[in-house]
Structures are given as structure tokens and as C-alpha cells.
Amino acid sequence: MAKASLLGIVGWLTGVIVSLAVGFALIGGTLSVPWIGVLNVIAGWVVVITTILSIIFAILGK
């Protein structure tokens, strides 16, 4: 049971790091989705904000 819990935390943390990396890459222009132009930056902010919200909710236990 403890291993499953630890694995869940590691998986969640990995997802947070990847989400933030993708979000900031979209915002900075390092990563882009073809044909959507300025929406890349908006999509990046959406990813970053929702990731931060998920961190807050996880800490608060909701």
C-alpha cells in the first residue's frame, strides 16, 4: 500500500513538472502548435494556471 501511495505521488509530481514545462514553453515560444498563432500563449497560460490550481487543491485536500 505504501509503494502505491509513493508511486501515486511521484506520478502526480511528474505530471505537474511536465505540465509547467509545456505551459512555460508555450508562453515563451519554445513550443508551439502549428496554425493557432497567438493562441499558443493563451493555451500556455491556461495550462500554467490550471496546474497551479491543481497544486493548491491537492495541498488543501479537495
Let me know if residue 2 belongs to a domain: no
Let me know if residue 34 belongs to a domain: yes
Between 4 and 31, the higher pLDDT residue: 31
Let me know if residue 6 belongs to a domain: no
pLDDT at 1: 59
pLDDT at 38: 87
**What is the grid cell recorded at 54?**
491543481
Containing domain of residue 37, as a range?
Answer: 15-60
Contact 45, 23 (CB under 8 A): yes
Q: What is the mean pLDDT of residues 42-58?
A: 95
Let me know if residue 27 belongs to a domain: yes
Number of domain units in the chain: 1
Let me know if residue 25 belongs to a domain: yes
Contact 42, 22 (CB under 8 A): no
Let me know if residue 51 belongs to a domain: yes
Most confidently modeled range among 5-14, 32-41, 48-57: 48-57
Q: What is the 3-state secondary structure (H, E, C) of 27-38?
A: HHCCCCCCCCCC
pLDDT at 61: 87
